[in-house]
Chain A
Amino acid sequence: MNNNKVIQVEGLTKMFGDFAAVNAITFEVKKGEIFGFLGANGAGKTTAMKMLIGISKPTGGKATVAGFDVFTHAEDIKKNIGYMSQKFALYDDLTVKENITFFGGIYGLSRKRIKEKSNALIEELGLEEVENKLVGALPLGWKQKLSFSVSLIHDPKIVFLDEPTGGVDPITRRQFWEMIYKAANQGTTVFVTTHYMDEAEYCDRVSIMVNGRIEALDTPKKLKEQFEVVNMNDVFLKLARG
């Protein structure tokens, strides 16, 4: 396989009974790319993502993530990816530091490494003052940034972000995207879903899912040309409305 392609998906399908939540999607993601995964609510984005991160078994097709098959080597995939779900999934009843330590420990980092990472991360996010506060008490924007940093704690090859900026203010969203760019610059591949079309413009390439299928896939610039519109919002509307 091509080492440059960290995600390769071919005809990936997930059926729930007769309903195809994800209907034979095919795409590739290159190393270090920021890949936008768009679609209306219920289009199948989250389901597709869950198959790629190895917590949902596909019913058909082929897919490899970080070089491992999603059917047979889901646990190997998990060592190489980070994931941030759309629902905040750190422990509210643990402090910032404890959350970092816990997830570092789960990923098998050494005590020393966890300490280094934890300090660097807290400094970077400017969380020094609240490092011993319970995460539940933090504002949503801070939580999201912390959550993203924790998903990168084990230096994964690919990070999957499921609507990471849902419900946060524009300034925090901006900072969040700066973090995404930084991670991508360091060679991490970013696979991100979003409903904000301005964010879609930040992506290297964008796919748009409609009813379980990928209806469009290209750079934002080319998509705009293809649909003869001026922004991604209109691309999305044209596609999603059918």
Chain B
Amino acid sequence: MKTILYIIQKEFKQIFRNKGMLPIIFVLPLLQLVILSNAATFEVKNIKFGYIDNDHSSTSRALVEKFNASTYFDVLTDFPSEKMASSAMLKDEIDVVLEIPRYFARDLQKEKHIDLGVTINAIDGAAAGVENVYITQIVQNFNQQLKVDLLQVSDQQIQPINIETIPLFWYNETLNYKTFMVPGILVLLVSMITLFLSGMNIVREKEIGTLEQINVTPIKKSQFIIGKLFPFWVIGMGLLTVGLILARIIFNVPMLGSLTLMYLYTSIYILVILGIGLFISNFTDTQQQAMFIAWFFVVIFILMSGLFTPIESMPKWAQIVAEFNPIKYYVEVMRMVMLKGSGFIDILPLLIKTSLYAIVMNGLAVWSYKKTN
């Protein structure tokens, strides 16, 4: 036990003496939280909108005016021909082209039916889908108004729409994207920093040759590893604390569940990450190698964590792979506890899985650390 204290003391001294590392540990993650939470959004906004008005009637102008009034559509450009519109789309100057046919107003009155041409840049399929919904909504809205107007001028009976869905949004009533993203980004910070630091730590001692000196002492493997990892565990918990405070102050993200539960889960979760970091450290000879491997895992873990894209929509095999992703568990727990106020029983299955993971990873880490080659 005393031996462990000596190691912890030494590690903390080294961490706080490393002037290059300190800002990386404490400032960068928080900048990341502030920047990413604001920037990483899937809301489709500022759509660059172009139209070709072949009709030039008051009705067609009213339709264009509808788009103009919407906050989602940003730039409005009037193209004289379809050719010019498509060349503008090639140059990425516009995302959407609406083509209003000739005799739009006349045909609408006479035939009660008209086709509008809408062309959407669908390189980003998800965004295109959302844009389509916006456009449809605006056109429908325009249509409703027109019906009312028509009703006033003609005595024709038009059936009003009588089925409507009224959605209730639970847990994030205002559909605030940041409420959804901030807990996830917080997960990234805690995970990335602790993984990188622990991954590079032992390999650094290998590089400078001090590990050999440690290996000729009678220190026990477990003592050494606990002493090495404890400081990073503390740093991880510290990052969580600062992150939670920022989430509250800057983003006003609610904390519905119990803080104690959050800390309990995190304390075990960090052990998993540290175990992985150490495992990487044991199998690499230089900090560069360790960094590359850690990055490799981080990128996969993040993309398959459900942070940006729902795991449910991934192919079956990817869902199975995601079961081995600790970040996925943490994202789930963080969102459950912070946003839904889930309790101990709700997250118990995740807690058990994470604990098992921690035992396996740290077991592997201790096993793969060899004092004798």
Interface membership of A198, Cβ < 8 A: no
Taken together as a complex, chains A and B put the C-alpha atoms of A88 and B371 apart, in Å, by 19
Closest CB in chain A relative to B271 CB, distance in Å? 24
Contact flags A62-87 to B (C-beta < 8 A → 1, else 0): 00000000000011101101010101
Q: Is the CB of A55 within 8 A of B215?
A: yes
Taken together as a complex, chains A and B put the C-alpha atoms of A54 and B372 apart, in Å, by 6
Closest CB in chain B relative to A138 CB, distance in Å? 15
Can you sample 22 A-B contacts with CB below 8 Å? A54-B372, A55-B215, A55-B372, A56-B372, A57-B373, A75-B218, A79-B218, A83-B213, A89-B208, A89-B213, A90-B213, A92-B208, A93-B14, A94-B10, A94-B14, A98-B10, A102-B7, A105-B6, A106-B3, A106-B219, A107-B217, A107-B218
Closest CB in chain B relative to A230 CB, distance in Å? 38
Closest CB in chain A relative to B94 CB, distance in Å? 57
Q: Is the CB of A93 within 8 A of B18?
A: yes
Q: Is the CB of A74 within 8 A of B213?
A: no
* B-side interface mostly: helix
Taken together as a complex, chains A and B put the C-alpha atoms of A75 and B217 apart, in Å, by 8
Interface membership of A103, Cβ < 8 A: yes
Number of A interface residues at 8 Å Cβ cutoff, please give it: 29
Taken together as a complex, chains A and B put the C-alpha atoms of A192 and B371 apart, in Å, by 22
| 8 Å CB interface, B195-219 against A | 208-210, 212-219
| 8 Å CB interface, A79-135 against B | 79, 81, 83, 85, 87-94, 98, 101-103, 105-108
Which A residues lie within 8 Å of B2 (CB)? Answer: 105, 108
Interface membership of B17, Cβ < 8 A: yes
Interface membership of B13, Cβ < 8 A: yes
Number of B interface residues at 8 Å Cβ cutoff, please give it: 25
Which B residues lie within 8 Å of A93 (CB)? Answer: 13-14, 17-18
Interface membership of A53, Cβ < 8 A: yes
Chain B residue at minimum C-beta to C-beta distance from A71: B372
Among B2, B5, B6, B14, chain A packs the most CB atoms within 10 A around the CB of B6
Closest CB in chain A relative to B120 CB, distance in Å? 58
| 8 Å CB interface, B1-21 against A | 2-3, 5-7, 9-10, 13-14, 17-18
Closest CB in chain A relative to B146 CB, distance in Å? 75
Q: Is the CB of A78 within 8 A of B18?
A: no
Chain B residue at minimum C-beta to C-beta distance from A105: B6
Chain B residue at minimum C-beta to C-beta distance from A92: B208
Select which of A81, A91, A102, A108 is within 8 A of B216 by beta carbon. A81
Q: Is the CB of A102 within 8 A of B6?
A: yes
| 8 Å CB interface, A121-162 against B | none
Q: Is the CB of B3 within 8 A of A89?
A: no
Taken together as a complex, chains A and B put the C-alpha atoms of A79 and B6 apart, in Å, by 17
Which B residues lie within 8 Å of A74 (CB)? Answer: 371-372
Which B residues lie within 8 Å of A85 (CB)? Answer: 209, 212-213
Chain B residue at minimum C-beta to C-beta distance from A150: B213
